[in-house]
């Protein structure tokens, strides 16, 4: 469907510009959402930052989110009860999975945000971006966490999403813009011709100076 995350961002940007959003701020979910969001921020001439969110993958299927953690004090945690039940994950195992990913979340906060001035979202239109959504759990956690920061409006922007994710997010976001909803959603990488894992340096280069 998409050549790269950059191309997906350009296609999303072309749609978002037409919305004429009030005081937009663009937030990316790292790492994959950063190159997508960078194109949108450029098109909107909007402040660009990240929201540190960490997916908690199912055992033996890390692409499938059983939960998501959003950086904060305390962190926000959203559970995907359907997946937890399907995999038979008990409370003890779930705590282990969450703590394991919390370590990486804290590392990313230190790397990405240590020297940056936090972008204010109060009374702003927040465009929150990722490179796609399979279950929607990660983005759902991000939206719920952002609600506590008093934005004027939350716009979720995705190149591709499963029908399950689209339905869940349409109930939570003020607006949802998704370019593609395949009838049979496979792994996110199937919807891009070029889909490498980003490095921390690439993320920081795209974010630019604080």
Give the full edge-to-edge strand order of the sheet including 76-79. Answer: 53-58, 61-70, 76-79
Task: Report the mean per-residue pLDDT for the chain.
Answer: 92
Q: What phi and psi, each to the nearest 5 degrees, are found at residue 96?
A: -65, -45
Integer Cα distance of 153 and 24 in angstroms:
9
Across residues 119-132, what is the average pLDDT?
A: 94
Q: Are 94 and 63 in contact (CB under 8 A)?
A: no
* β-strand partners of 49: 27
Q: Which of 112, 147, 182 is the last residue of a domain?
A: 112
% of residues, the chain, pLDDT over 90? 69
Asked if residue 65 and residue 167 are part of one domain, the reply reads no
Last residue of a domain, one of 66, 96, 112: 112
Which of 208, 3, 15, 204 shows the shortest CA–CA distance to 127? 15
Range of the domain at 63: 55-112
> How many structural domains does the chain have?
2
Structure tokens at 31: 């790492």
Indicate whether 73 and 143 sit together in one domain: no
| DSSP code for 193 | S
- On whether both 132 and 59 belong to a single domain, the answer is no
In the DSSP assignment, the letter for residue 190 is G
Note if the bond before 31 is cis, omega within 30 degrees. yes
Residue with tokens 């590392």: 107
Q: What is the DSSP letter of 192?
A: B
* pLDDT given at position 1: 82
Check pLDDT > 90 for residue 60. no
Which of these ranges, 15-24, 72-81, 92-101, 137-146, has the smallest mean pLDDT?
Answer: 72-81
| pLDDT band per the 50, 70, 90 thresholds, residue 210 | low
Whether 93 and 187 map to the same domain: the answer is no
Domain of residue 26, CATH code: 3.40.50.2020
């Amino acid at each position: 469907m998409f050549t790269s995350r950059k191309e997906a961002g350009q296609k999303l940007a072309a749609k978002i510009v037409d919305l004429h959003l009030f005081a937009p701020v663009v937030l990316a979910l790292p790492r994959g959402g950063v190159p997508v969001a960078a194109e949108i921020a450029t098109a909107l001439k909007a402040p660009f930052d990240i929201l540190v969110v960490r997916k908690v993958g199912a055992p033996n299927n890390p692409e499938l989110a059983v939960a998501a953690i959003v950086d904060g004090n305390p962190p926000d945690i959203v559970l995907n009860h359907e997946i937890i039940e399907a995999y038979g994950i008990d409370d003890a195992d779930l705590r282990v999975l969450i703590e394991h990913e919390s370590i990486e979340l804290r590392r990313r906060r230190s790397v990405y945000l240590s020297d940056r001035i936090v972008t204010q979202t109060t009374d702003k239109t927040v465009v929150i971006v990722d490179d796609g959504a399979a279950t929607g759990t990660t983005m759902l956690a991000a939206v719920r966490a952002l609600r506590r920061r008093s934005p004027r409006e939350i716009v979720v922007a995705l190149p591709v999403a499963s029908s399950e994710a689209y339905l869940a997010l349409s109930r939570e976001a003020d607006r949802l813009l998704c370019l593609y909803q395949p009838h049979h959603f496979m792994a996110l990488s199937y919807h891009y011709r070029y889909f490498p894992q980003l490095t921390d340096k690439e993320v920081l280069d795209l974010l630019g100076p604080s």
